[in-house]
Amino acid sequence: NSIYEKMTVPIKFHELLQLTNVGIPYSIINFKNVTMESEKFVVCRDKDSSQIIIIDISDSTTQKRLPISADSAIMHPLKKILATKNDKTLVIFDLDKPSKLKEHVHHEDVVYWRWIDKDTIGIVTETAVYHWNLAGDSGPMKMFDRHPTMSGCQIINYRTDSQLEWLIVIGISAKSKHVAGSMQLYSTDRQISQPIEGHAACIVNYKMDGNTHPSTLFVFALKNEQGGRLNMVELVPLPTGNRAYPKKSVLVPYSEELAADFPISLQASSEQGVVYLVTKDGLVHIFDLESGKIIYSNRISEETIFITTDYSQGGVIGINRKGNVLSVSVDKQKMVDYVRETDPDLAHKLSRRWNPSFTARDSLLALSTSVAMWNDDGRSESVESPAPYSSVFPPPSQLLYSPLGSLSIKTQDSPLDISSIRLQDSPSGISSVSRTLDSPPSRLFSLNTQDVPTYDTPNYEALRFDMNANTEKEVTEQDIFARYGVSRTTGEDPFDTREEETKYREALLEMANDRAERAERERDEIAARLREMTTIHNDSATRIERAERERDDIAARYWALKKKCREAMNILQRADTDDLSGETRIM
């Protein structure tokens, strides 16, 4: 229990089920007898009793025991449809009716199979890979032949992208000092294969910041005698308007105590923008897709994890040899706080990604940032945002507003002429950036690129908001009576006549309508200001991205020029040496 109870932050970690507690013998809990195609069902094959046991993960008391003798059984990821394999005979059953949907006798042994989507079963034999569609009466269709490098491997997984355009067979084999991983990546469009060293892989469609379309990323992990690595590569040609995803190769730590450990699973979350790497010995490493950085690592199981699948909450579900069905997913707010301790910039990006409503309200003014401004004399001023350390952005009550509700900007001389805005994270609670310039900059970044448009930041006066100016004067009953000619004396009954009561009610109704109209106008004004703030934030983010690209380009050109200078110096030195040698020979 201790290892599970200690795991509280910054992930959500739960034991969903204990197989031995629901009647599953410990002896059959292994890769050969237990399958899990989704977070809905676990299927166990009990050879001794010739039964297939189907367990609903959400309600472990709901079990179905079928008197079926089979070598393997896999449950549909969504429906109560079961596929069984007995020698070369493949059968698909609808358990709700119940009825047999399809049957096929294959011409060679099936060494691995699984549901790759709601309509298709992927089948791997010793020589080839097939797809068997649930619809119709057709048998499995051959997709490609296995590569010679996969010969002799135990197949442990078969992965595809969502469009079934990229297919990956994954296998392992025992070497003298380690377990080697081999993969075969196949493109259905180009109809070619590529052998790759690796133990686990996945394909994810992920939309990077600033891109119009998602990028198709191939993520794979390996562990060899040189150590462990996680690699991320963009597969398909660049969509129009997208910037390329830079290839990444990240070191994965493995301890000496677990020298025989290796990756068994990769699950990626497009929504979270993270990758979960699970190892055989129960380690979980979480990586950021955008930067490739590792953001969290811990051991979640002391027993071998032999099977995993995607979790709807953006994480991973796995089963270990003791029968623990475990789920791991990111606790977003706690993860942001955890990452901020070592990488405030990445924490800011994660928070922006994980908060769909992260607009101007939560960005330009609300973030732990500073707004740098220049006045007419070229001197810089700054506005501080008191963001609490426990949150990437403060509550609305702690924005850059004075107690009276108007935007507070401290200036000593003339009003500020805003030329640019610069955002900067701060690991401390208060952010403040102040620089002295010879002259106000015309824009935030100087780009030596003619085809890149520049954007001027709107004047800061557009953000000024004075709540006191919209405060309504209190309207008393005497005002209403005077306005509508209703007379009454204190202590008397409220209304003397029906006509007076009618006038009073009309006065109340008109006052309510007036207030509603004023509230709508104020709402529209606030919405307009919010849109202006959103524009400023988006412009700032765009300029930051351009500056980063220009910085990388300048760095690349700098190193190229430095290399050319070195080569030129070497040529000059060789020329001087040749001249001296020539003079010696002449002498």
Model confidence at 547, pLDDT cuts 50, 70, 90, reads confident
User: What does the pLDDT read at residue 66?
Assistant: 95
d(CA 434, CA 380): 6
Asked if residue 98 has a cis previous peptide bond (ω within 30° of 0), the answer is: yes
Taking Cα atoms as reference points, which of 129, 122, 174, 131 lies closest to residue 153? 174
Distance CA 95, CA 98 (A): 5
**Per-residue pLDDT at 329 exceeds 50:** yes
SS3 46: strand
Confidence check: pLDDT of 507 > 70:
yes
Question: Between residues 560 and 457, which one has the greater pLDDT?
Answer: 560
Return the top range by mean pLDDT from 215-219, 352-356, 441-445.
Answer: 215-219
Poorest-pLDDT segment among 139-148, 251-260, 297-306: 251-260
pLDDT tier for residue 400 given thresholds of 50, 70 and 90: very low
Between vectors from CA 343 to CA 342 and to CA 347, what angle results, nearest 5°?
A: 120
Nearest-angstrom CA–CA distance, 587 and 582: 9
User: What is the C-alpha to C-alpha distance for residues 418 and 459, in angstroms, rounded to an integer?
Assistant: 6
Tell me 431's DSSP state: B
- pLDDT over threshold 70, residue 538: yes
User: Is residue 521 pLDDT above 90, yes or no?
Assistant: no
Beta strand 34-35 with 41-46: parallel, antiparallel or unpaired?
antiparallel
SS3 call for 139: coil
88: closest CA among 54, 53, 126?
126
Domain ranges of the chain: 346-569
- Measured distance between the N- and C-terminal CA atoms of the chain, rounded to whole angstroms: 89
- What average pLDDT score do residues 429-444 get? 35
- The tens digit of pLDDT for each residue in 23-63 reads 999 999 999 999 999 999 999 999 888 999 999 999 988 89
Q: State the pLDDT confidence band at 504, using cuts at 50, 70 and 90.
A: confident
> pLDDT tens, 264-292?
999 999 999 999 999 999 999 999 999 99
Confirm if 280 and 305 have CB atoms less than 8 A apart. Answer: yes
Whole-number pLDDT of residue 482: 65
- Return the pLDDT at 454: 34
